[in-house]
Amino acid sequence: MSAIEYCRTAALGGHVEACEDCGQWRIAYNSCRNRHCPKCQGAAARTWLAEREADLLPVGYFHVVFTLPAEVADIAFQNKALVYDLLFKAAAETMLTIATDPKHLGARIGITAVLHTWGSAMTHHPHVHMIVPGGGIAPDGSRWVSSRPAFLLPVRVLGKLFRRLFLTRLVALHEAGRLSFFGSIAHLIERRAFLRRLTAVRKKRWVVYAKAPFAGPEAVLAYLSRYTHRIAISNSRLIAFDKSGVTFRYKDYRRDGPDRQQVMTLATDEFIRRFLLHILPRGFHRIRHYGLFAGSARKASLALARELLNVAPPSEEDNSVEPTDFRPPCRCCGGRMIIIETFERWRQPRGPPDSTATNRENSP
């Protein structure tokens, strides 16, 4: 919260930019660079997307979502690092296992997975979004196996395997004494109570959602730009802040049409509490890659995929990454802004020359 409070203020220092064409200048304070700050994700998203653009294949891409049921979400909140990691691994293994099965796709696929822990009203709702190419490399590496145009893998089969893998490993974590429980669920430290809590979850259907494929690589990038570096709430959704609390827009997915867009006002402390529900443990990676896109084998796998698809590899120009110090153009004339002065933390820049004072000094 301190990082967000001080972001782009004099507390972090900054610099003065001037336009090369018209001389217009402006003050730009430094960013906090905290990954949970709503102001600091734009540049990070641009850089990440530029790196990912070279990895896109000329095939349809599917959007798959794995969600934890509410009974498990409470456990996940008190054991974020362990259970969120388990969510990633169980979902990825589910996709890779079913895709490799000859009864379904029969191929090795690639996955880019992004963790979100919130619903639209900032409630705790952990789920993983996946972007998956519509096909993969045959096990012997001899050909590219394409999925059906509007179908990747059966969601019911995915849901059953995901449920089994996740619960089996969750029980193993409990038996190893690695889970912690507090407050209203403190009793789950006992094995019987914990297994009783999971009984209902074992019987219910775990929903895996698969959207229709994207319309081309550009649509994939547009989607990724919205999802990869998103936080619990963006500044654009905030409407008002006054004595009654914080008012913001949210989507009620139980409604259709124009009624889906709703407005909510929360007391200030409740708004902050909900925001803090979604702070991830230090060092936790919320964007991960699996299968063909896994780090160690990514370059070789993508090169083979392009060869099998008869597609030329991207040129060096396509791989160029946008500079991380991107600055918006001049608001007056659209010219390029350059840095003319820097100032340290808790300092203010010097004011611009006073033209009227200069004229008085030069007058007879």
List pLDDT tens digits, range 265-307. 999 999 999 999 998 998 899 999 999 999 888 999 999 999 9
d(CA 311, CA 132): 18
pLDDT given at position 357: 41
Helix 155-175 and helix 80-100, axial crossing angle in degrees, nearest 10: 140
| Confidence bin at 324 (pLDDT 50/70/90) | very low
- From 228, 307, 305, select the one nearest 55 (Cα to Cα): 305
Average pLDDT over residues 75-79: 95
pLDDT given at position 323: 46
pLDDT given at position 129: 92
Range of 41-50, 228-237, 314-323 with top mean pLDDT: 228-237
d(CA 84, CA 94): 15
pLDDT given at position 315: 65
User: Average model confidence (pLDDT) for the chain?
Assistant: 86
- Does the pLDDT of residue 362 top 50, yes or no? no
Domain residue spans in the chain? 1-54+314-364, 57-232+277-308, 235-276
Helix 191-203 and helix 70-78, axial crossing angle in degrees, nearest 10: 140
- The distance of Cα 133 from the centroid of its chain, to the nearest Å, equals 18
- Does the pLDDT of residue 358 top 60, yes or no? no
Q: What would the pLDDT profile of 137-188 be if each residue is shown by its tens digit?
A: 999 999 999 998 889 999 999 999 999 999 999 999 999 999 999 999 999 9
To the question of pTM greater than 0.85 for the whole model, the response is: no
Range of 200-214, 310-324, 347-361 with top mean pLDDT: 200-214
d(CA 40, CA 3): 11
pLDDT given at position 352: 56
d(CA 45, CA 224): 9
